[in-house]
Amino acid sequence: MAHPVITPRGRHVSPLTPLNRGCPRKGFVMDGTPLRGYSCITTATKDMWERLFDTGYRADVSINTDNGGVIYAHASILLASPVMKSMLKHSRGRGRGRGQVRRLSISICGVPHQAVRVFIRFLYSSCYEQEEMKKFVLHLLVLSHVFVIPHLKRECEKQLEQGLLTEENVVDIFQLALLCDAPRLSLICHRLILKSFKFVASTEGWKVMKQSHPKLEKELLESVTEADTMKEERTRKLNERKMYLQLYEAMEALVHICRDGCRTIGPHDKVLKGGRAPCNFAACKGLELLVRHFASCKMRVPGGCIHCKRMWQLLELHSRLCAKPDVCRVPLCRNFKERIQQQNKKDEMKWKILVGKILMAKKIAGVPFSSSIGICT
């Protein structure tokens, strides 16, 4: 889409601070009611301004648009735009005879005549038709940016964010948002591009951008690659955290089995009542076969049976988490505590890292540590 050309004389006008015209500020009171932000004007006032625009009564500015179109307006209204104010200042007026209004002339080219008309109408009444907004929203976004009409610019961004932005037009709108200094809109577009990249990359807008702005295409491709890498990293960390939580739950279940006896696996040293509720430790089901195997295996030595080796590792991990080895009912807890002093620094560091990650995963999960384990902190 072509950008509007600001004339007369091809003069470029830098955007200035916009003027707030006809809008009460925060903290104002009207009829005893506090006002927040902008107030809604009455229907009669709105209709009066729209009639003034439609009739062009004593209009002193003619706005030339593409294909010979002309829109008549009033300088006092156009002064709401600091850019138009500068354009009017440098414009040469023409009189049409004695008694006629001296009329200034400016040009807004590069956008459809009807889009300019909707834009000027908004300066009068702050109103628009929804169908016109839907049809000319991109042109209105450009016009509101170029002529520094912030409330119209915000409205265009809002309309795009709430329904007019699609996977089909997101590339065009993204480029426009960058040009028009609309950071929120550009961020929303960027997220949609990343979310639906396969479809977006097949649209006509992407193909045009690829030819006209290869640097922007390269940056988007890099961001897609980065997003995929970050997603994979998040997935990896979530899986790790899940594994550490499972290890912690296994430690809880191990204490439960050895101290209280488990209805799933069987009592430790007591007879369980028939009406006792089912076990609440989900990890007990996973430990059941391992514990039964460990109790009957003839190769219960480290480095022997792979299942027994895993059980030895769980027992050692428990000892490193347990803060009460003297009263702990888990087998070999105290023995492993004594062996810690004899391990080399490399193995000791590995265990400390594992314990730290387990405690961190439990902390991130937001679940309090079980008092039944007696966790070291």
Q: Give the residue with greater pLDDT, 205 vs 367.
A: 205
Q: Computed over its alpha carbons, how large is the radius of gyration of the chain?
A: 37
Rank 14-23, 95-104, 168-177, 345-354 by mean pLDDT and report only the highest. 168-177
Which of 82, 115, 149 is where one domain is finished? 149
- In angstroms, the CA 170 to CA 177 distance is 10
Report yes or no on 182 lying in a domain: no
Report yes or no on 310 lying in a domain: yes
pLDDT in tens, 16-68: 333 333 344 444 444 455 444 444 567 787 888 888 888 888 888 889 998 88
Domain that holds residue 296: 243-267+279-365
Residue 65 — left, alpha, or beta (φ > 0 → left; ψ -120 to 50 → alpha)? beta
Report yes or no on 161 lying in a domain: no
Please give the C-alpha separations between residue 196 and each of 170, 188, 370, in angstroms, as whole numbers. Answer: 10, 12, 43
pLDDT in tens, 305-318: 888 888 888 888 88
Find the CATH number of the domain harbouring 87.
3.30.710.10
Report yes or no on 24 lying in a domain: no
Same domain, 358 and 251: yes
Q: To the nearest whole percent, how much of the chain has pLDDT over 90?
A: 30
Q: Which of 55-59, 100-104, 274-278 has the lowest mean pLDDT?
A: 274-278
Buried b (16+ CB within 10 A) or exposed e, 358-374: bbebbeeeeeeebeebb
Find the CATH number of the domain harbouring 361.
1.20.1020.10
Same domain, 358 and 250: yes
- pTM of the predicted model as reported, rounded to 2 decimal places: 0.60
Q: What does the block give as tokens for 112? A: 């459809």
329-338 mean pLDDT: 81
Q: Which amino acid is at 295?
A: A
Report yes or no on 350 lying in a domain: yes
State how many domains the chain has: 2
Same domain, 140 and 247: no
Report yes or no on 187 lying in a domain: no
Report yes or no on 373 lying in a domain: no
Q: Can you give the pLDDT at residue 70?
A: 92
Report yes or no on 274 lying in a domain: no
- In angstroms, the CA 106 to CA 86 distance is 11
